[in-house]
């Protein structure tokens, strides 16, 4: 087993809107993996955060009459509050507006790339969609020459930019991905990026003039330019662990795992590796790419009224699950959305997953087994059990985590739960114990042991619930109230 500390990151969220369910899912995916790795005995360092620069943010803040910093501060608080409610166990929250740690680190990275001779100032004439904050080429546009996403004709921008000479790194990046030195999950996303690399990478615009964008990190040695997103946002993964300002945690960086959405695969598997190669830094070890979440088969949107706000999901569960409402939200998202493919959730599917698996499934099972344990507690043998050491190695379940597939692991745990439910119905320990006490106690002990395994295996997904069940098992007592009450 690799005993280096395990470093895991989410993408940093763009600070121009409240967190949506896709963000929540990504945080949970990374959190489940981080918790699994800790359970396995690894040191884990887990970071998440906000991407707070760029023209779109500057414009939105202006529209709302806010100073840009207070505009982004507001969203940072919203994200942190969602993380708290969901129990996201991050160690550090990166903010790209952090002038000490992040600015200095990003500038150090810039200088390194410049020293290598990989930056070049060029006059640049291109189409730019402010909505996307991206340069567009003709082939990106619809028949009327508009951005298909924003239905607006992009601005023609003519400006001086620094360019990063990415194209020269095409072959070496391709090789690293082909040989899994940078391993991309799932295979279909690996194939996708390899196809793109096959076509060759183009040099990328690396800065914007301050006359167009003022809100950004100044380019070292050139007051007329601020960094474009690449050297700013992507650099967060290393500035957060000391690059350019403190002792750089190379032990972490050499064992990095990025969790990202499919829309930013090219940034992480092509541009970012190019920058790292230029700066002489290690490449990320794993890139886990999840899909998008639709609702009722359609993209979530305010106009369609099918948007699902993660905070609303937590609120829905508060009256029935109390302090475990965040856990119920964790469960339904991790259970209903596949780790890699696109997923679909509706309010109905959320409610039925809760009722089927937590109320009727795990909650009911815990009450039934622990009731018998409580009644017969004086006669039961004590289980020697320490939470973090003696966990069961249920091969297939933990193996799903080796493939970074928490959704599959959770499905296997719930199959195990269903199986135990069938076993206790068939065994009828409550009857057996009246006729044959020794055999009855043996059955109860066996059921308790299996419940303990399930509770342990649920730790990466619903850690508080897992703790509560394990506490009940240690003390041979029923939960004080049903863990998950029925939705009205
Ligand atoms: Zn656009």
Give the domain ranges of the chain: 6-291, 301-475
The verdict on whether 393 is a catalytic residue reads: no
State the residue for tokens 């009857």.
431
Residue 139: per-residue pLDDT: 84
Task: Identify any residues that bridge with 295 across adjacent strands, giving them in sequence order.
Answer: 298
Residue 385: per-residue pLDDT: 46
Q: Are 59 and 130 in contact (CB under 8 A)?
A: yes
The verdict on whether 357 is a catalytic residue reads: no
CA of 55 to the centre of ligand 1 (A): 13
The verdict on whether 299 is a catalytic residue reads: yes
How far, in whole angstroms, is CA 431 from its chain's centroid?
47
Helix (H) / strand (E) containing 14: strand 13-14
Residue 289: per-residue pLDDT: 98
Residue 37 has pLDDT above 90, yes or no: yes
State the residue for tokens 């969220």.
13
Q: Are 344 and 306 in contact (CB under 8 A)?
A: no
CA of 291 to the centre of ligand 1 (A): 20
CA of 356 to the centre of ligand 1 (A): 41
CA of 146 to the centre of ligand 1 (A): 8
Residues 224, 180: Cα–Cα separation, whole Å: 40
DSSP string, 284-327: PSEEEEE--EEETTEE--TTTT----HHHHHHHHHHHHGGGHHH
Residues 191, 195, 201, 207: is their CA dihedral positive or negative?
negative
Residues 313, 260, 411, 443: is their CA dihedral positive or negative?
negative
CA of 425 to the centre of ligand 1 (A): 57
Helices 21-39 and 68-86: crossing angle in degrees, nearest 10, is: 50
Residue 389 has pLDDT above 60, yes or no: no
Strands 343-344 and 293-295: parallel
- Determine if residue 289 is left, alpha or beta; phi over 0 gives left, psi from -120 to 50 gives alpha, anything else beta: beta
State the residue for tokens 């730019």.
128
Quote the tokens at residue 423: 């076993």
The verdict on whether 292 is a catalytic residue reads: no
- pLDDT band at 281; cut points 50, 70, 90: very high
The verdict on whether 373 is a catalytic residue reads: no
Kindly name the residue from 147, 231, 373, 472 that is annotated as catalytic: 147
For 326-369, what is each residue's pLDDT tens digit?
A: 999 999 999 999 999 999 999 999 999 999 999 999 999 999 99
CA of 97 to the centre of ligand 1 (A): 24
CA of 473 to the centre of ligand 1 (A): 55
For 87-144, what is each residue's pLDDT tens digit?
A: 999 999 999 999 999 999 999 999 999 999 999 999 988 899 988 888 888 888 999 9
Residue 83: per-residue pLDDT: 98
Q: Are 292 and 261 in contact (CB under 8 A)?
A: yes
Residues 228, 11: Cα–Cα separation, whole Å: 17
Residue 204 has pLDDT above 80, yes or no: yes
The verdict on whether 335 is a catalytic residue reads: no
Residue 134: per-residue pLDDT: 84
Residue 392: per-residue pLDDT: 45
Kindly name the residue from 60, 132, 371, 477 that is annotated as catalytic: 132
The verdict on whether 268 is a catalytic residue reads: no
- pLDDT band at 387; cut points 50, 70, 90: very low
Quote the tokens at residue 429: 């320990």
Residue 1: per-residue pLDDT: 55
**pLDDT, mean of residues 445-465:** 94
Kindly name the residue from 53, 56, 129, 290 that is annotated as catalytic: 129
Average pLDDT across the chain, whole number: 94
Strands 183-185 and 286-290: parallel
The CATH class given to the 301-475 domain equals mainly alpha
Residue 394: per-residue pLDDT: 67
For 225-259, what is each residue's pLDDT tens digit?
A: 999 999 999 999 999 999 999 999 999 999 999 99
- pLDDT band at 391; cut points 50, 70, 90: very low
| Whole-Å CA distances, 254 to 8, 101, 251 | 11, 20, 6
CATH assignment of 6-291?
3.40.50.620
Residues 463, 451: Cα–Cα separation, whole Å: 15
CA of 184 to the centre of ligand 1 (A): 27
**pLDDT, mean of residues 381-399:** 58
CA of 96 to the centre of ligand 1 (A): 23
Residues 394, 392: Cα–Cα separation, whole Å: 6
| Whole-Å CA distances, 379 to 198, 382, 449, 472, 481 | 68, 9, 15, 16, 24
Kindly name the residue from 3, 62, 116, 150 that is annotated as catalytic: 150
Kindly name the residue from 116, 299, 379, 431 that is annotated as catalytic: 299
CA of 257 to the centre of ligand 1 (A): 29
Residue 224: per-residue pLDDT: 96
- pLDDT band at 390; cut points 50, 70, 90: very low
**pLDDT, mean of residues 74-94:** 98
Nearest to 77 by CA among 164, 13, 3: 13
Kindly name the residue from 125, 139, 302, 434 that is annotated as catalytic: 302
Residue 4 has pLDDT above 90, yes or no: no
Residue 427: per-residue pLDDT: 93
Strands 134-136 and 155-164: unpaired
Residues 268, 184: Cα–Cα separation, whole Å: 10
CA of 147 to the centre of ligand 1 (A): 5
Nearest to 161 by CA among 107, 126, 124, 115: 124
Q: How far apart are the first and last CA of the chain?
A: 47
């Amino acid at each position: 087993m690799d005993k280096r500390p395990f470093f895991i990151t989410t993408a940093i969220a763009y600070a121009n809107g409240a967190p949506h369910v896709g963000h929540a899912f990504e945080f949970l995916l990374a959190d489940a993996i981080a918790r699994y790795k800790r359970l396995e005995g690894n040191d884990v360092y887990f970071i998440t955060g906000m991407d707070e620069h760029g023209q779109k943010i500057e414009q939105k803040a202006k529209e709302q009459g806010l100073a840009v910093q207070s505009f982004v501060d507001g969203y940072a608080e919203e994200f942190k509050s969602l993380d708290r409610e969901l129990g996201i166990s991050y160690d550090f929250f990166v903010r790209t507006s952090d002038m000490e740690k992040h600015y200095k680190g990003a500038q150090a990275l810039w200088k390194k790339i410049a020293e290598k001779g990989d930056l070049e100032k060029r006059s640049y004439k291109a189409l730019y969609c402010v909505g996307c904050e991206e340069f567009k080429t003709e082939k990106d546009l619809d028949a009327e020459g508009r951005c298909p996403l924003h239905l607006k004709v992009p601005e023609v921008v003519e400006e001086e930019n620094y360019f990063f000479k990415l194209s020269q790194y095409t072959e070496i990046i391709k090789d690293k991905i082909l040989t899994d030195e940078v391993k991309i999950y799932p295979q279909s996303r690996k194939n996708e990026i390899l196809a793109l690399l096959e076509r060759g990478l183009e040099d990328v615009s690396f800065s914007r003039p301050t006359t167009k964008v003022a809100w950004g990190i100044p380019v070292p040695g050139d007051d007329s330019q601020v960094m474009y997103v690449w050297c700013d946002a992507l650099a967060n993964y290393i500035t957060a662990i000391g690059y350019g300002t403190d002792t750089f945690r190379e032990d972490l960086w050499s064992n990095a795992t990025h969790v990202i959405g499919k829309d930013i695969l090219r940034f992480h598997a092509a541009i970012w590796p190019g920058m790292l190669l230029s700066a002489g830094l290690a490449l990320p070890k794993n890139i886990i790419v999840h899909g998008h979440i639709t609702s009722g088969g359609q993209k979530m949107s305010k106009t369609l009224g099918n948007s699902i706000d993660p905070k609303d999901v937590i609120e829905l569960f508060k009256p029935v699950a109390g302090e475990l409402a965040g856990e119920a939200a964790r469960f339904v998202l991790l259970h209903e959305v596949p780790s890699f493919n696109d997923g679909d959730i509706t309010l109905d599917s959320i409610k039925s997953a809760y009722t089927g698996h937590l109320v009727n499934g795990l909650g009911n099972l815990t009450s039934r087994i622990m009731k018998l344990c409580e009644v017969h507690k004086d006669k039961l043998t004590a289980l020697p059990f320490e939470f973090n050491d003696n966990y069961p190695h249920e091969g297939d379940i933990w193996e799903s985590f080796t493939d970074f597939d928490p959704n599959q692991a959770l499905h296997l745990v719930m199959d195990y739960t269903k199986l135990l439910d069938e076993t206790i119905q068939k065994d009828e320990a409550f009857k057996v114990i009246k006729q044959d006490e020794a055999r009855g106690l043996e059955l109860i002990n066996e059921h308790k042991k299996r419940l303990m395994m399930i509770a342990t295996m649920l730790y990466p997904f619903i850690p508080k619930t897992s703790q509560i069940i394990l506490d009940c098992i240690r003390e041979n007592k029923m939960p004080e109230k049903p863990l998950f009450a029925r939705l009205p």
